[in-house]
A and B are shown apart, each in its own frame.
Chain A
Amino acid sequence: MAVTAGRPTRGALLPSQLSAITSTRTGSLAIFIVRRILWMAPILFFVILITFTLMHLAPGSPWDKAGGRQLSDTVINNLNIRYGLNKPVTQQFVLYLWSVIHFDFGLSYQYQNKTVSGLLLESWPYTATIGVLAFLLIIPVGVGLGVLAALRQNTRIDYITMGFATVAASFPNFVIGALMVVVFGVLSYRATGGNFFLPTAGFALDDHLIMPVLTLALLPIAYTARLTRASTLEAIRQDFVRTAWAKGLPERLVVTRHVLKNSLIPVVTTLGPTFAFLVTGSVIVETVFSIPGIGRAFVVAIESRDYPMILGTTVLFSLVIAVANLVVDVAYVFIDPRVRLT
């Protein structure tokens, strides 16, 4: 399709092979994905630039201590030389970019001789495991509760579900986490003489996961349930649903074929950011349950002005968010036929 109606389209300017690719649905999807991935480079550049600037503007140096005797000027000077902080800030920035291009995120200041990429690889699996489990819990429970409440609107089921969602959304998760620790950990231990209780801290692929995953999932479940309920209610009132009912379709088919297909579109939109939020870790959950994950590592890095660690974590988080958004956009193509790739 080199020429359409006498005028070249944008596709015509591309080499012929490429234009052949763009002419198919999967082809245009591939182009879309490639373009979005290429866009990540400038996004990352600005993320690094902004983080780098803010980080250096923040008061304090990596060598300050919160209390007690401070390091002497001599030691601080030698540390600055050891980690290249004696160079001009602009030079530090260029050097950092150069290393990042080579996938070298530098050495942490806080943990001697540990690379930032090593530290991230070390702590991310913990965070990701809990995040993915929470995500897997959110979809069926959140969507299920929302649909249930919408289909039984203004009944007791609706009130109970939405009451639960309101409570879960209003309690901060450090309260929920601490409360669970007391009830299922300490009090259960006391009541059963140590025979039944949930472990209150640490990470292991067993009952250690229950409380952290629940604490992390509760708020997104509440949010997803409310959103699903609202969009389902809207879908139920649409003409095509009324038609479906009028045709005499059973409820199961009306819900799965006609209602959910439409009502889940806004839910999917939020699932991308929710997923990114979950796998980048929650400081609170990781602190309350003492999980050696990335969320807490990030906060500790900021507190101690561990510059390479702050930058490395920010870059990783930006990538995760960008990819999650990309996946959602691609998913749109399949669930909403109205969406066209540009």
Chain B
Amino acid sequence: MQLGNHLRATALVSVAVVVAACGGSNAPSLNLAPADQQILRANNGVEPNSFDPTQQTYTYERAVGIQTFDSLFRAKADSSDVEPLGATSYDVSSDGLTYTFHLRTNEKWSDGKPVVASDWVYGWKHFLNPALAAGYVDPFFDLTIKGAGTYGSVDVSSASAIDAYLNGLGLSAPDDKTFVVALDHPAAYFKWVATLWMAVPLRKDIIEQAAGGSFASTDATKAEAWANNASTIIGNGPYKIKEIASKDHVTLVPNPNYWAPAPHLQQIVLYEISDGNTAYSQYQTGALDIIGVPLADVTVVRNDPKLSKEAKLIPTLSQYWISYNSTRAPLDDKNVRMALSKSIDRDKLVNDIEHGNGKSLGTFIPKGMNGYDTSDNAQSFDPAAAKKLLADSGKAAQLAKMKLITRNSTASKTLNQFLADQWSTNLGVTIQLDVIDSKTVTRNIRKGQFDIYGLDGWISDYPDQQDWFDIFVTGSCHSLNWGCVSDTSYDDLVNKADAESDKTKRAQGYSQAQKKLIDNAVVGFMYQPYEYDLIKPYVQGLTVTTTDDQNLPGDGRYNQAYITQH
């Protein structure tokens, strides 16, 4: 990249104009409900394990994190690029190794203090402190940011070792409004890393105050003391936490110091109802405004004249696949894997098992982001071709000894029974289900002790292909690449594309890599899941995007939503 890549806030300005034009109290066209009714009640399902964004791993945690803290950027609504949040623009050095983020000049914390570059440095270091063991630290920062590569070998019982590691990181603040990140190697995707929910600024003074003074970097308990109390969770996001009612709900209210125009919604209540049916009853009795429809009730909702009008089928940037243990014969033979992949009727899978909530997809990258391309139909459903492949390989008898490892849950058993039936009908091979307790399944697949495992998949962290292709790079074995397929030519393609700054060349590299995944049947690609949500008709102004939380459509831009008279 020769020239600095400037991201001027065009998209954001236009949004602000729209809000300003039709917002405010004198806007009869919106049919706004009075301020005391501007409350959105949605179901987040589970209580966040932590309110410190750097410690958040799960979607139900991120759901609160993104309301209370802003990263440098966020994905545009159409996922085509990033748009400004904490930073208004950025430059990349010509060697691609230095990212300079120009921070928003008028940004303030929820307590009114200005956000400065040293807060970003502090927040990112807090995230990368090995003693805190943040769940999502790899494989992003530790392999990308300069000096972060030794993350795993830092002695976490030694404060001086941790401090030396943190001070050696390529993070700096030359002035209050400039945040500079030095990288270990060129990473064209780094602007997307800057959209992640855990890459946020944090307040040193608040954290130390909550800990009762400064503390050693080995002390995880003190470092996290601030994150349990609504009053010390000072963020830079559009909303702040008003109340944490443990295992019941979290109440968010607007951050009065946020840089964007004041939102209509005066309260967002994220409930923690774990049972989908309970949430469904709450929706039907008017106690919730937005829910995900439980699978068992999908057909009922579709056939209900009233509810079906409030339902929305939303694509997610996810894809599911079957993993084959390529270290075990006959699954080391790509033709056997291909035969298995070609004998699943994916349309039937989506319709019968998922009640239509999805899109059958025999390729890797889901619809809705760069790289979506269904032209390679090598894995598409074709029983005759599948049978021929298997017959030619002469390994049918060997294949019949393979087992499908299955979690002891209704969903897993139903799904895997379907897969086994398909193989029996379309391929003439009987594959037994090996039903075991869920925790044991996790342990076994981690250790590579399985034959076939399905379905597993990926939800995009950010709509860039690097987030996807790195899954199957050699060495990523046992974290999601259960089958441990290793292909150095694939690795080369992906590593080159990850670093490539030229958009076209980058896309070509990933395209070739995707072809390898499909043609070698590294995994059997199955379907892209869709979310089926119910939204009350009086909830308006939601911008539903593919990067939203599954059960919280529009949660990336709640500050534009509003409640109408009802």
Residues of A46-62 contacting chain B, CB below 8 A:
58-61
Question: Are A68 and B458 in contact (CB-based, < 8 A)?
Answer: yes
Question: Are B440 and A60 in contact (CB-based, < 8 A)?
Answer: yes
B396 within 8 A of A: no
Residues of B within 8 A of A182 (CB): 281
Residues of B within 8 A of A122 (CB): 246-247
Report the bound CA distance from A163 to B138 in whole Å: 61
Question: Are B459 and A290 in contact (CB-based, < 8 A)?
Answer: no
Question: Are A200 and B443 in contact (CB-based, < 8 A)?
Answer: no
B400 within 8 A of A: no
Q: A112-B227, A290-B275 are in contact. Are A75 and B287 (CB under 8 A)?
A: no
Picked from A113, A202, A288, the residue with its CB within 8 Å of the CB of B225 is: A113
Report the bound CA distance from A287 to B274 in whole Å: 7
Interface residues on A, range: 35 or more
Picked from A58, A67, A189, A296, the residue with its CB within 8 Å of the CB of B284 is: A189
- 10 nearest CB pairs, A to B: A60-B439, A292-B247, A74-B152, A78-B133, A112-B50, A200-B281, A59-B440, A79-B133, A113-B224, A290-B273
B278 within 8 A of A: yes
Q: Can you spell out 19 A-B residue pairs with CB atoms less than 8 angstroms apart?
A: A59-B437, A61-B443, A69-B458, A78-B133, A81-B131, A81-B157, A82-B131, A82-B156, A107-B221, A110-B49, A111-B50, A113-B50, A185-B281, A186-B281, A189-B284, A194-B286, A201-B282, A202-B287, A290-B271
A199 within 8 A of B: yes
B548 within 8 A of A: no
Picked from B131, B248, B284, B458, the residue with its CB within 8 Å of the CB of A186 is: B284
| 0/1 string, A165-207, CB within 8 A of B gives 1 | 0000000000000100110011001100010010111110000
- Chief secondary structure at chain A's binding surface: loop
Nearest B-chain residue to A80, judged by Cβ: B133
Residues of A within 8 A of B439 (CB): 58-60, 64, 305
B277 within 8 A of A: yes
| 0/1 string, B140-157, CB within 8 A of A gives 1 | 001000000001100011
Q: A72-B479, A189-B285 are in contact. Are A292 and B227 (CB under 8 A)?
A: no
Q: Apart from A112-B228, A182-B281, what 12 extra A-B contacts exist at CB < 8 Å? A: A61-B443, A69-B480, A75-B135, A81-B131, A111-B49, A181-B281, A185-B281, A201-B279, A201-B282, A288-B278, A290-B275, A292-B245
B206 within 8 A of A: no
B452 within 8 A of A: no
Q: A59-B440, A112-B227, A199-B285 are in contact. Are A70 and B480 (CB under 8 A)?
A: yes
Q: How far is the CB of A130 from chain B (nearest CB, A)?
A: 14
Residues of A within 8 A of B437 (CB): 59
Residues of A within 8 A of B49 (CB): 110-112
B176 within 8 A of A: no
Q: A75-B137, A288-B275 are in contact. Are A113 and B246 (CB under 8 A)?
A: no
Residues of B within 8 A of A311 (CB): none
B55 within 8 A of A: yes
Residues of B within 8 A of A197 (CB): 285
Residues of B within 8 A of A73 (CB): 152
Question: Are A189 and B286 in contact (CB-based, < 8 A)?
Answer: yes
B47 within 8 A of A: yes
Question: Are A81 and B135 in contact (CB-based, < 8 A)?
Answer: no
Picked from B151, B225, B438, the residue with its CB within 8 Å of the CB of A74 is: B151
Question: Are B479 and A70 in contact (CB-based, < 8 A)?
Answer: yes
A87 within 8 A of B: no
B139 within 8 A of A: yes
Residues of A within 8 A of B471 (CB): 69
Residues of B within 8 A of A181 (CB): 278, 281
Report the bound CA distance from A203 to B272 in whole Å: 12
Q: How far is the CB of B441 from chain A (nearest CB, A)?
A: 9
Chain B: residues with Cβ within 8 Å of the partner, total of: 60
Question: Are B274 and A113 in contact (CB-based, < 8 A)?
Answer: no
Residues of A within 8 A of B443 (CB): 59-61, 64
Report the bound CA distance from A166 to B246 in whole Å: 38
Residues of A within 8 A of B55 (CB): 112
B446 within 8 A of A: yes
Picked from A69, A186, A203, the residue with its CB within 8 Å of the CB of B479 is: A69
A66 within 8 A of B: yes
A161 within 8 A of B: no
Q: A74-B138, A82-B133 are in contact. Are A112 and B52 (CB under 8 A)?
A: yes
Residues of B267-309 contacting chain A, CB below 8 A:
271-275, 277-279, 281-282, 284-287
Report the bound CA distance from A297 to B272 in whole Å: 13
B220 within 8 A of A: yes
Residues of A within 8 A of B272 (CB): 290, 292
| 0/1 string, A290-313, CB within 8 A of B gives 1 | 101000110000000100000000
Residues of A within 8 A of B132 (CB): 82
B80 within 8 A of A: no
A114 within 8 A of B: yes
Report the bound CA distance from A58 to B271 in whole Å: 31
B478 within 8 A of A: yes
A123 within 8 A of B: yes
Question: Are A68 and B480 in contact (CB-based, < 8 A)?
Answer: yes
Q: How far is the CB of A310 from chain B (nearest CB, A)?
A: 14
Residues of B within 8 A of A67 (CB): 456
Nearest A-chain residue to B134, judged by Cβ: A75
B53 within 8 A of A: no
Residues of B within 8 A of A75 (CB): 133-135, 137-138
Q: How far is the CB of A283 from chain B (nearest CB, A)?
A: 11
Residues of A within 8 A of B151 (CB): 74
Report the bound CA distance from A122 to B273 in whole Å: 17
Q: How far is the CB of A87 from chain B (nearest CB, A)?
A: 12
Picked from A71, A113, A123, A290, the residue with its CB within 8 Å of the CB of B221 is: A113
A152 within 8 A of B: no
Nearest A-chain residue to B154, judged by Cβ: A78
A65 within 8 A of B: yes
Point out which of A69, A202, A203 has the most chain B C-beta atoms below 10 A from its C-beta: A69
Nearest A-chain residue to B284, judged by Cβ: A186
Residues of B within 8 A of A203 (CB): 248
Picked from A68, A71, A72, A112, the residue with its CB within 8 Å of the CB of B456 is: A68
Residues of B within 8 A of A223 (CB): none
Q: How far is the CB of A191 from chain B (nearest CB, A)?
A: 12
Report the bound CA distance from A305 to B498 in whole Å: 37
B106 within 8 A of A: no
A289 within 8 A of B: yes
Report the bound CA distance from A199 to B282 in whole Å: 8
Picked from B130, B228, B287, B458, the residue with its CB within 8 Å of the CB of A199 is: B287
B442 within 8 A of A: yes
Residues of B within 8 A of A58 (CB): 439
Question: Are B135 and A289 in contact (CB-based, < 8 A)?
Answer: no
Report the bound CA distance from A77 to B442 in whole Å: 17
Picked from B137, B152, B273, B459, the residue with its CB within 8 Å of the CB of A201 is: B273
Q: A82-B131, A186-B284 are in contact. Are A70 and B478 (CB under 8 A)?
A: yes
Nearest B-chain residue to A178, judged by Cβ: B277
Point out which of B47, B133, B271, B459 has the most chain A C-beta atoms below 10 A from its C-beta: B133
Residues of B442-469 contacting chain A, CB below 8 A:
442-443, 446, 456-459
| 0/1 string, A99-138, CB within 8 A of B gives 1 | 0000000010011111000010011000000000000000
Q: How far is the CB of B515 from chain A (nearest CB, A)?
A: 24
Picked from B134, B142, B278, B456, the residue with its CB within 8 Å of the CB of A200 is: B278
Question: Are B228 and A60 in contact (CB-based, < 8 A)?
Answer: no
Nearest B-chain residue to A65, judged by Cβ: B442
Q: How far is the CB of B300 from chain A (nearest CB, A)?
A: 11
Report the bound CA distance from A242 to B133 in whole Å: 76
Q: A69-B480, A112-B227 are in contact. Are A202 and B131 (CB under 8 A)?
A: no
